A and B are shown apart, each in its own frame.
Chain A
């Protein structure tokens, strides 16, 4: 009964049948459903503020840890569902940054420097998150990838922002 509800919830969240079967199997073998969800979503929750690129590239790398065994248990549909989530995070972050910068310009911030710096940190953040995440995920897999992508995004964002600031003589 509980398992059925669990499976339905997973299905509504966009998880594929294979993924659901795997998760239900884990539960039947003794794992608490909350634990399975926590393991799968661990990174997502931890880095909700990520500069986006990091989050997005990691969704692809998300699901399994050693305890899932060696076989890739999450299908590409699951990867897509999780990737979509990370993508939304980055998108939202960029949108908020742009609106705030625009608001500042409308209220007297010098337009040129404000826009240039926004461009620097957006480009740096997106590139840093994607590049660090995709490289690490390609080599290692899920473990640590979320953190690496987050750090890549932050480092890239800072680098871009500061580079433009210094180049403009700030």
Chain B
């Protein structure tokens, strides 16, 4: 019995994915996606039968995962007349010209690479800083591994330096105006993020890099 629900689960998730390869009306695609989500959620609930507690876990897991995937990878998460999606392009998918042409005003003037707005990108950085610092802490107290801590630190350095140098090079304000996230990231990392960010920002002011091949240059026509 449970196996049939597993089959239904896999089929519904596969269908929700495969339908996205076909070009048809976005409203219909959205409808199919969320129908598949309902089937996956119900299948998940019955998959663990007769363990109802695990059934609830599984139902929540599949519903949550489909919602997360919808937000990060698709324009399907829509309520209140608005698409909720990570990328600028998906957020504008309902507009007649989702890919703004150079003649139009820039739809997301502060977007990194023209794909993720400054506000969203800076919120994405926060969980990474928490994970990185947490892993360093766990390593120090003997509950984690060294290579994991080192990986997290490398990510922290890359993000802080990349953001600082890039923001200054293209003439943006500090953290492209996302001060709250900058303060939280700095507090979480005991100041390390701020130190690296500001050093890189100063370097970017002094020796800016404004490559014509970069996505920043392509995405925002005011740079040209």
User: Which A residues are within 8 Å of any B CB, using their own CB?
Assistant: 52-53, 56-57, 60-61, 64-66, 70-72, 76-77, 79-80, 83, 87-88, 90-92, 94-95, 98-99, 101-103, 105-106, 111-112, 115, 118, 120, 122-124, 126-128, 130-143, 148, 152, 155-156, 158-160, 162-163, 166-167, 169
> Are A102 and B62 in contact, with the CB atoms below 8 A?
yes
Kindly state whether residue B89 has any CB partner on chain A within 8 Å. yes
Kindly state whether residue B74 has any CB partner on chain A within 8 Å. yes
Taking A91-B17, A106-B6, A163-B135 as known contacts, 10 extra A-B pairs with beta carbons closer than 8 A to each other, sorted by chain A number, are: A94-B68, A99-B13, A102-B62, A105-B54, A127-B128, A130-B86, A132-B159, A138-B215, A139-B169, A159-B155
- Do A139 and B10 contact each other (CB < 8 Å), given the known contacts A76-B99, A91-B73? no
User: Which B residues are within 8 Å of any A CB, using their own CB?
Assistant: 2, 6, 9-10, 13, 17, 20-21, 44, 47-48, 53-54, 57-58, 60-62, 65, 68-69, 72-74, 86-87, 89, 98-101, 112-116, 121, 124-125, 127-128, 130-132, 134-135, 138, 143-145, 148, 151-152, 154-155, 158-159, 162-163, 165-166, 169-170, 209, 211-219
- Report Cα–Cα, A94/B73, bound state, in Å: 10
Interface centre among A87, A115, A138, A142 (most CB of B within 10 A): A138
- Report Cα–Cα, A162/B145, bound state, in Å: 9
> Are B152 and A99 in contact, with the CB atoms below 8 A?
no
> Are B128 and A60 in contact, with the CB atoms below 8 A?
no
- Report Cα–Cα, A115/B112, bound state, in Å: 31
- Report Cα–Cα, A88/B54, bound state, in Å: 29
- Report Cα–Cα, A89/B126, bound state, in Å: 24
Question: Chain B interface secondary structure, helix, strand, loop or mixed?
Answer: helix
Chain A residues whose C-beta falls within 8 Å of the C-beta of B155 in the assembled complex: 128, 132, 152, 155-156, 159
- Do A134 and B148 contact each other (CB < 8 Å), given the known contacts A139-B211, A166-B135? no
Chain A residues whose C-beta falls within 8 Å of the C-beta of B125 in the assembled complex: 127, 131
- Report Cα–Cα, A87/B85, bound state, in Å: 12
- Do A105 and B135 contact each other (CB < 8 Å), given the known contacts A126-B72, A136-B162? no
Nearest neighbor of A83 in chain B, beta-carbon distance: B89
Measured CB to CB, the closest approach of chain A to B221, in angstroms, equals 10
- Do A60 and B134 contact each other (CB < 8 Å), given the known contacts A76-B101, A94-B69? no
> Are B57 and A105 in contact, with the CB atoms below 8 A?
yes
Chain B residues whose C-beta falls within 8 Å of the C-beta of A130 in the assembled complex: 72, 86, 116, 121, 124
21 A-B residue pairs with Cβ-Cβ distance under 8 Å, sorted by A, are A52-B72, A52-B73, A56-B87, A57-B115, A64-B213, A65-B213, A70-B212, A87-B74, A91-B74, A106-B48, A106-B58, A124-B127, A127-B124, A127-B128, A131-B125, A133-B113, A134-B215, A138-B166, A152-B155, A158-B148, A159-B128
